[in-house]
């Protein structure tokens, strides 16, 4: 504490003592004034005015002395602050120069370290990109091989199907040509079918042509022998539950022709009609007995009539024969109706094959779905790796930009000031 401050404190202490003295005197005066109000009032007022005048004068003089001392103290303080400021400026200049040299040296070390780090990161990134490229190429080659294999299998199956269809079409064309050749060489029905053996051969040939043209080779057999020794003209092999259906060709032509022979008497024609019905009924019974065998054949059989006229006669004028045949589960057919039956059988076979192939197709589709699921999973992993690589490239680019900006700031000496420097600069600005 300097002399000015000590003088100021002494002055303040004197003022306090003077104030206390005055308060004490005022207290005594008030007590005296209370005790002797009537006698001492004029004297006390005069003395009080005098004391107040002296007090005011003393206070004014003391205030003047204190202002003079305070002005001297302020001037001394200003001089000391100026000296302190000059010292601080000199020290800060030296500190700033040393700090700049240290920061430049540290920036160079950091620049070298960052360059080494960046080189290492670049080499690591290039290695990862190379590994990822190799993995992607391997996966793509694997996927391409599997796709090519599946396509080859599909093309192979398609070619096999097309070849099978073409072979069947060739068989149908050949059979059609045979039928056309047979039709061109047909003479009078009466001349060809002169006896029973000729009629039987004609019916079997027509039945064989219809069956071959309508069904695949594995859906029928001709002259098939049953366990009982009976031989059917044709055996249709259909999917379960229908099973094997026997088809037998019958041609009751003699009595049918006599029915419409105008040269015969009506009685003879009636007898021929009765005999025709008896022949047809016998044929139905024979077919039901021979070709409907439980556990070996289907529960029905087919009687084939090679002539549409005979079939029309039975259905138009002999419904009792049709009813009898239905009870025996023998279905009377003509070339036209047998074609419808064969088309129905072909549809049943096709539906069965479709269902069977649908299972195969379903299995193939299931395998293909599994392969595609693996392909999708691997593609997702590949996409994830690519996204991660892209993110790594973006992060490396951001880091590179930051490092480049940092180098530029170091070159321009645009470094941030430490907290101590900032405080010193702020104090310097406040003093100015």
pLDDT in tens, 341-355: 888 888 888 887 777
Q: Would you tell me how many other CB atoms lie within 10 Å of the CB of residue 305?
A: 26
Residue 354 inside a domain? The answer is yes
**Is residue 194 predicted with pLDDT exceeding 60?**
no
CB-based contact 396:121 (threshold 8 Å): yes
Residue 149 inside a domain? The answer is no
What are 297-349's pLDDT values in tens digits? Answer: 888 999 998 888 888 888 888 889 899 999 999 999 998 888 888 888 888 88
Structure tokens at 184: 């061109």
**Is residue 270 predicted with pLDDT exceeding 80?**
yes
What is the DSSP secondary structure assignment for residue 390, as one 8-state letter? H
Residue 5 inside a domain? The answer is no
Structure tokens at 307: 């002539």
Tokens 């016998």, residue located: 282
First to last CA, the chain: 26
* Dist. CA 408–CA 82, nearest whole Å: 39
* Dist. CA 23–CA 17, nearest whole Å: 10
Phi, psi at 221, each rounded to 5°: -140, 150
CB-based contact 348:318 (threshold 8 Å): no
Check residue 251 and give its pLDDT: 78
Residue 241 inside a domain? The answer is yes
Q: Which residue has the higher pLDDT, 385 or 220?
A: 220
Closest CA to 286 of 275, 296, 278: 278
Domain that holds residue 293: 194-367
**Is residue 18 predicted with pLDDT exceeding 80?**
no
Residue 334 inside a domain? The answer is yes
Cis ω for the linkage preceding 241 (within 30 of 0): yes
| Angstrom distances, CA of residue 113 to CA of 20, 110, 116, 118, 120 | 77, 5, 5, 9, 11
Residue 221 inside a domain? The answer is yes
**Is residue 221 predicted with pLDDT exceeding 80?**
yes
CA-based angle 85:91:92, to the nearest 5?
A: 85
Residue 146 inside a domain? The answer is no
Number of structural domains found in the chain: 1
Q: Which residue has the higher pLDDT, 14 or 348?
A: 348
Residue 159 inside a domain? The answer is no
* Dist. CA 200–CA 193, nearest whole Å: 9
Phi, psi at 282, each rounded to 5°: -65, -40
């Amino acid at each position: 504490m300097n002399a000015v401050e000590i003088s100021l404190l002494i002055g303040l202490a004197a003022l306090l003592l003077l104030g206390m003295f005055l308060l004490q005197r005022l207290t005594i005066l008030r007590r005296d004034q209370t005790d002797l109000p009537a006698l001492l009032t004029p004297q006390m007022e005069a003395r009080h005015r005098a004391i107040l005048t002296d007090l005011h004068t003393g206070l004014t003089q003391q205030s003047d002395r204190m202002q003079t001392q305070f002005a001297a103290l302020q001037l001394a303080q200003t001089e000391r602050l100026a000296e302190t400021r000059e010292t601080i400026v000199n020290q800060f200049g030296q500190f700033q120069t040393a700090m700049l040299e240290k920061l430049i040296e540290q920036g160079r070390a950091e620049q070298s370290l960052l360059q080494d780090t960046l080189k290492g990161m670049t080499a690591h990134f290039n290695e990862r990109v190379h590994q990822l490229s190799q993995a992607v190429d391997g996966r793509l080659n694997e996927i391409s091989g599997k796709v090519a294999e599946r396509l080859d299998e599909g093309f192979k199956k398609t070619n096999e199907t097309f070849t099978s269809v073409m072979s069947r079409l060739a068989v149908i064309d050949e059979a059609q040509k045979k039928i056309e050749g047979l039709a061109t060489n047909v003479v009078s029905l009466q001349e060809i079918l002169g006896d029973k053996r000729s009629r039987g051969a004609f019916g079997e040939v027509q039945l064989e042509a219809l069956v071959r043209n309508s069904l695949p080779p594995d859906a029928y057999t001709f002259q098939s022998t049953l366990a009982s020794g009976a031989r059917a003209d044709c055996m249709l092999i259909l999917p379960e539950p229908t099973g094997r259906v026997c088809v037998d060709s019958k041609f009751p032509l003699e009595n049918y022709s006599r029915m419409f022979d105008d040269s015969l008497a009506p009685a003879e024609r009636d007898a021929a009609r009765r005999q025709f019905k008896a022949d047809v009924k016998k044929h139905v019974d024979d077919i039901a007995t021979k070709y409907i065998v439980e556990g070996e054949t289907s529960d029905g059989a087919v009687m084939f009539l090679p002539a549409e006229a005979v079939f029309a006669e039975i259905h138009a004028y002999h419904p009792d024969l049709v009813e009898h045949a239905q009870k025996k589960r023998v279905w009377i057919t003509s070339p036209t109706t047998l074609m419808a039956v064969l088309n129905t059988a072909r549809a049943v076979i096709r539906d069965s094959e479709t269902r069977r192939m649908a299972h195969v197709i379903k299995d193939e589709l299931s395998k293909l779905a599994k392969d595609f699921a693996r392909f999708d999973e691997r593609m997702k992993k590949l996409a994830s790796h690519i996204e991660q690589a892209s993110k790594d490239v973006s992060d490396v680019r951001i880091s590179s930009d930051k490092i480049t900006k940092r180098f530029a700031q170091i070159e321009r000496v645009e470094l941030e000031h430490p907290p101590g420097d900032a405080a010193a600069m702020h104090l310097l600005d406040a003093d100015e």
